Amino acid sequence: MNEKVEQVYEEYNRYIYHLCLKLTRNKTEAEDLMQEVWMKVVRYESYMKDVEHVKAWLTTICMNTFRDRYRKTIRRSKHILNQPEQLDVPVLDLIPSETLTAEDILEKGDLSQMVQQKIAELDNIYKTTVLYFYVHQYSLVEIAELMKVSIGTVKSRLFRAKQRLKEMLIADSAAVDYLPA
CATH number at residue 63: 1.10.1740.10
DSSP three-state, residue 166 = helix
In a domain, 164, yes or no: yes
Residue 91 is predicted with a pLDDT of: 45
**CB within 8 A of 133, min separation 6: which ones?**
140, 143, 154, 158
Is the predicted pLDDT of residue 123 greater than 50, yes or no?
yes
How many domains does the chain divide into?
2
Can you tell me the mean pLDDT for 139-152? 92
pLDDT of residue 75: 66
Q: What is the pLDDT of residue 33?
A: 92
Q: What is the pTM of this model?
A: 0.44
> CA–CA separation, 126 vs 123, rounded Å?
6
Residue 70 contacts residue 32 (beta carbons within 8 Å): no
My answer on whether 127 and 167 are in the same domain is yes
Q: 77, 94, 111: which is the final residue of a domain?
A: 94
Give yes or no: residues 108 and 134 share one domain. yes
pLDDT at 168: 84
Regarding predicted confidence, which is higher, 33 or 98? 33
58 and 112 assigned to the same domain: no
Band of residue 97 on the pLDDT scale cut at 50, 70, 90: low
| Single residue among 94, 120, 151 that ends a domain in this structure | 94
Residues 15 and 73 in one domain: yes
Q: Is 74 in the same domain as 119?
A: no
Cα–Cα distance for residue pair 27/128, rounded to 1 Å: 38
Q: What is the mean pLDDT of the chain?
A: 79
Answer yes or no: do 84 and 109 share one domain: no
Same domain, 42 and 115: no
For residue 146, what pLDDT band results from cuts at 50, 70 and 90? very high
**Which structural domain range is residue 141 located in?**
102-176
